[in-house]
Structure 1
């Protein structure tokens, strides 16, 4: 990681990855609600195991890899690549719920970022509106996050860590409510995931385009079952 990034970039990352960012992340469980209902995830340990296996094999790896490509497309001002990866990620979503979640959160990030009107980065020629239009509508969350991180000139490795940490935080918060767990247990879980998040970051940064894949059938099945679950607190 570039430890020389400016304090302002660090603050921008904290804002972008914050659970308080008004994009609706708190309203989704990524199928976790179904898993808790079925008794698959019902303890602190089983939640940790689910998150660990998702980091190693699941769709979050694919989404983060595409976020990196969106980030790089913005830096190189390659608007064709930005639109391509947005369409590619849409096609990779296994269920309607997961696709709708990604679109809703992505569109919310784009609208919020346009409202914030950040200044044009040094040496950039394309405006934020140009980049948002190139990404396309609807825009996936990973694409919008990568666009915002690049536009705010946040270090790439830090951006990946922030993206993964935000994902883990949201799911742990959902687990705390659903299982339920205590707040301290949730924070312990997040702390225990640090090694996995760091290792996953390095692996994803090294992935080539032809290596992009995931084994997310567990998430896909949980998401499909969630659509018809009798009682629901979360949207997915």
Structure 2
């Protein structure tokens, strides 16, 4: 039915979709602790930093996972985990990915490969990264690869902005202006990912990695990552 893929993309990228992403700041809390997240400008800058890293890692994995067989999904999943240098970032990606897969299956989506990946991730046979889950689920939801990448990027950006909004704190209008202003960065990240293969994946955001490692040792924490 015309318009159905758009509705599916909107649903799975909504912050209300049960993935547990609301429990993660992806290092933002450590930036806040260090005094580097004090207002809207800082949040915008850090969100863009995250997105630039996703363009060459998660988004590439999502495209490689799109319509792939189970063996290739496992390979891409392992490669993506290898680009995540800190324990918290790896755990966050796997945790939200497993929840995403389970939530899609719970909708009644029937796809053999998707079901097999969901079971394997639950059993710990593969990391179950969120981006790989999106790539595996997208064909079953009627989404194209480009639409799935943008949905994933938007969900990631919305989650980051929501975390930053609580930490600063920031009003709803200001948070939405940041999201609105990130549109070009989302499109650029999607386009950049289209030129890379799974074996080319990399992530370069040393500031995020350092803050993620420091976050593990913070005495007080609102977020898991």
Return the TM-score normalized by structure 1: 0.87
Aligned to 1:106: 97
Aligned to 1:70: 65
Aligned to 1:141: 130
Q: What is the 5 A alignment of 1:1-236? A: 6-56=2-52, 58-59=53-54, 61-73=56-68, 78-120=69-111, 126=112, 128-133=114-119, 136-236=125-225
Deviation at 1:208, TM superposition (A): 3.1
Deviation at 1:133, TM superposition (A): 4.7
Q: Distance in 1 between matches of 2:156 and 2:57?
A: 13
Q: Distance in 2 between matches of 1:14 and 1:212?
A: 27
Q: Distance in 2 between matches of 1:103 and 1:147?
A: 14
The answer (yes or no) to whether the contact 1:83–1:134 under 8 Å persists in 2 is: no
Q: Distance in 2 between matches of 1:168 and 1:112?
A: 20
The answer (yes or no) to whether the contact 2:19–2:99 under 8 Å persists in 1 is: yes
Q: Distance in 2 between matches of 1:220 and 1:23?
A: 22
Structure exhibiting the larger radius of gyration computed from Cα positions: 1
Deviation at 1:131, TM superposition (A): 4.3
Return the TM-score normalized by structure 2: 0.91
Deviation at 1:201, TM superposition (A): 1.1
Deviation at 1:219, TM superposition (A): 1.1
Deviation at 1:60, TM superposition (A): 5.4
Change beyond 3 A, Cα 1:214–1:130: closer
State the Cα RMSD in Å. 1.9
Change beyond 3 A, Cα 1:127–1:172: closer
Instruction: Say which is worse superposed, 209-218 or 160-169, in terms of deviation.
Output: 209-218
The number of residue pairs the alignment matches comes to 222
Long gaps (5+) in structure 1: 121-125
Long gaps (5+) in structure 2: none
Deviations 1:48-98 (A, max 9, x none): 112223323x2453111101111141xxxx222111011112222211111
